[in-house]
C-alpha cells in the first residue's frame, strides 16, 4: 500500500510541476511566442499567394478549381484574418505591458503569453502553412463544343437530306467511318458541324472532336487539336500517339471524330485514332 501511495504522490508532483512550468512559460516567454505567431502569419500568407497563383493560371485556361482547393483558400483567409487581428489587438496590450516589470502588469503579461502560446499550438496542429497541391483544377468538356457550332448554318432541302443520311449512318453499328467529298466552298465543313451538333443533342455521340487536316498535314498540330477537345494535355511529344490512343480506347461513350479538309489518304494510327477496320476486317 505504501508503494502505491508513493508512486501516486510522485506522479501528482510531476503533473503539478509540468503545469507550473507551463504557466510560468506563459509569463516569461510571451515575447518569443508573439514573434512566432508573426512568422507563421507570414508563412500562411506565402502559402495563400502560391496557391492563388496556381488558381489564377488554371482559370486563364479556363479550368474548374477543385473543391478542396477552394476550401483551403477559404480556410487560409479566415486563419490569416484571425491571427492578424490577434497580433493587432495584442500589440496594443503589449505596449501597456512594456513599461516595466510591475505587479499591475503581471496578469496582462501572463494573458499575452498564454494567448500567443495557444495560437502557435493551433497553427502547428493545422499545418495550413505547409499546404501544397500538385493540381488545383480540372478541365470540363462542354456539352456542345463551341468550335463545332456554326451560327451561320441555314437549312436547305438538299442539306437536310444529306444530314438525315449522315444521322442514319451514325446510328448504324456496322458503320465506323463516313466520307463526305466535294469541291471546295460548297459547305462541307458547315454541314459536318451541324451533324456533330445534332449527334450531341441526341446523345448518340456525347463527345465530338474536330481536326483540320489541310493539304499538307502536320501530325503534331492535328494531335494537339484532338487532344484539346478531349481535355488532354500532351507535353511529351514522344508518347502523344499512345496517350491519345489510350484515351479514345478507354472512353465508355461514343466519340465522333471529324477530320476536315482531308486531301489524301491519312494513316489514323499516326494520330493515335484506333482503327476499328483492323479489328473486325470490315471496310465502311
The rounded distance, in Å, linking the Cα atoms of 260 and 135 is: 34
- pTM equals 0.51
- Of the pLDDT bands very low, low, confident and very high (cuts 50, 70, 90), residue 282 is very low
C-alpha closest to that of 144 among 222, 63, 199 = 199
CA 16, 20, 26, 29 dihedral sign is: negative
Digit-coded pLDDT (tens) for 19-67: 555 665 666 677 788 888 899 999 999 999 999 999 998 887 768 899 9
Q: What does the pLDDT read at residue 43?
A: 94
Least-confidence region, from 67-71, 82-86, 104-108: 104-108
| 232 membership: H or E segment, kind and range | none
Residue 259 phi, psi dihedral angles, 5° rounding: -105, 105
Cell numbers 502536320 correspond to: 218
Instruction: Calculate ∠ Cα 207-244-231, nearest 5°.
Output: 50
| 193 membership: H or E segment, kind and range | helix 188-201
Strands (E), the chain: 64-65, 137-138, 207-214, 255-262
User: C-alpha grid cell for residue 12?
Assistant: 501528482
Amino acid at each position: 500500500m505504501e508503494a502505491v501511495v508513493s508512486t501516486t504522490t510522485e506522479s501528482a508532483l510531476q503533473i503539478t510541476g509540468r503545469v507550473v512550468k507551463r504557466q510560468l512559460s506563459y509569463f516569461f516567454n510571451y515575447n518569443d511566442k508573439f514573434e512566432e505567431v508573426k512568422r507563421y502569419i507570414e508563412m500562411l500568407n506565402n502559402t495563400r499567394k502560391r496557391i492563388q497563383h496556381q488558381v489564377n493560371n488554371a482559370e486563364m485556361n479556363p479550368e474548374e478549381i477543385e473543391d478542396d482547393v477552394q476550401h483551403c483558400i477559404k480556410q487560409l483567409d479566415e486563419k490569416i484574418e484571425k491571427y492578424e487581428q490577434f497580433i493587432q489587438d495584442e500589440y496594443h496590450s503589449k505596449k501597456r505591458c512594456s513599461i516595466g516589470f510591475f505587479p499591475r502588469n503581471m496578469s496582462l503579461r501572463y494573458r499575452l503569453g498564454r494567448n500567443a502560446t495557444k495560437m502557435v499550438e493551433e497553427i502547428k496542429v493545422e499545418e495550413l502553412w505547409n499546404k501544397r497541391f500538385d493540381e488545383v483544377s480540372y478541365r470540363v468538356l462542354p456539352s456542345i463544343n463551341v468550335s463545332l457550332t456554326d451560327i451561320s448554318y441555314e437549312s436547305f432541302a438538299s442539306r437536310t437530306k444529306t444530314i438525315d443520311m449522315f444521322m442514319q449512318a451514325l446510328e448504324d453499328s456496322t458503320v465506323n467511318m463516313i466520307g463526305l467529298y466535294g469541291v471546295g466552298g460548297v459547305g462541307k465543313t458547315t454541314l459536318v458541324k451541324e451533324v456533330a451538333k445534332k449527334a450531341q443533342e441526341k446523345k448518340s455521340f456525347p463527345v465530338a472532336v474536330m481536326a483540320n487536316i489541310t493539304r499538307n498535314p502536320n501530325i503534331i498540330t492535328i494531335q494537339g487539336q484532338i487532344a484539346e477537345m478531349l481535355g488532354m494535355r500532351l507535353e511529351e511529344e514522344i508518347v502523344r500517339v499512345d496517350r491519345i490512343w489510350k484515351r479514345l480506347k478507354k472512353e465508355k461513350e461514343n466519340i465522333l471524330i471529324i477530320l476536315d479538309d482531308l486531301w489524301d489518304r491519312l494513316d489514323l494510327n499516326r494520330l493515335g485514332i484506333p482503327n476499328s477496320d483492323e479489328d473486325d476486317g470490315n471496310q465502311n
